[in-house]
Amino acid sequence: MTADLFESVGDRRPSRQPMGEGAVLLRGFAKLIEDDVIADLRGVVAQAPFRHMMTPGGHRMSVAMTNCGGFGWVTDRAGYRYDAIDPASGKPWPAMPSTFCLLAEAAAAEAGFDAFAPDACLVNRYAPGAKMSLHQDRDERDVGAPIVSVSLGLPAIFLFGGLKRSDKSLRYRLEHGDIAVWGGPARLAFHGVAPLADGEHALMGRQRINLTFRRAR
């Protein structure tokens, strides 16, 4: 898969920035097929529009969300979980576009995680001021598969810590096209996103879109 993405760019491979054992930033990786990814993203959102979900504690999330793939991550008064049905429409989530699968599998392989086959893609939309508090991704049945997180649009400050909430978090500036991958010893690392600064991106406007690929089941 990785070789397919690099056919048109030869040896100009995106740079790698380690974030710790089992975690790496692939700078500009998504730009290799950004036009197709953005077009397919718009198709997903047309079928399952963004919405602000509620946490079990009754708080409205500042980040708007939707999903594609066999399963979608949802939160409401009943708790955090994966569900094959979009609660807003009563229908299955949109199928995961082939470009999404290609990008996620190639990024995982580039980071050292072969044979990654995501069955869920969380799509988060950050407007200026939106943030994501430090948390672990642990609602998946098997945490052996990595997390692949694609950044599109406005730059954001990504917070990446350790296995305890109290561990120090390092700050990384994520630009359009960057992909963060973490797994293995870093799979349950606490991470989050600082409040998004205002701005205007040439392709995405006044927003940041985050595609987070996971193996839910």
The share of the chain scoring above pLDDT 90, in percent, equals 92
Q: Please tell me what DSSP assigns to residue 20.
A: E
pLDDT of residue 14: 77
Instruction: Please state, in angstroms and rounded to a whole number, the distance separating the CA atoms of residues 170 and 134.
Output: 12
Mean pLDDT across the stretch 64-88? Answer: 96
Mean pLDDT across the stretch 91-95? Answer: 98
Mean pLDDT across the stretch 210-215? Answer: 98
Using the predicted structure, report yes or no on whether residue 8 has a pLDDT greater than 70.
no
In Å, what is the CA distance from 103 to each residue of 67, 71, 138, 189, 197? Answer: 16, 18, 23, 23, 27
Using the predicted structure, report yes or no on whether residue 198 has a pLDDT greater than 60.
yes
User: Structurally, how many domains does the chain consist of?
Assistant: 1
pLDDT of residue 142: 84
- What CATH number is given to the structural domain containing 112? 2.60.120.590
Q: How high is the mean pLDDT of the chain?
A: 94
127-186 pLDDT tens trace? 999 999 999 999 999 899 999 999 999 999 999 999 999 999 999 999 999 999 999 999
Residue range of the domain that includes 135: 2-214
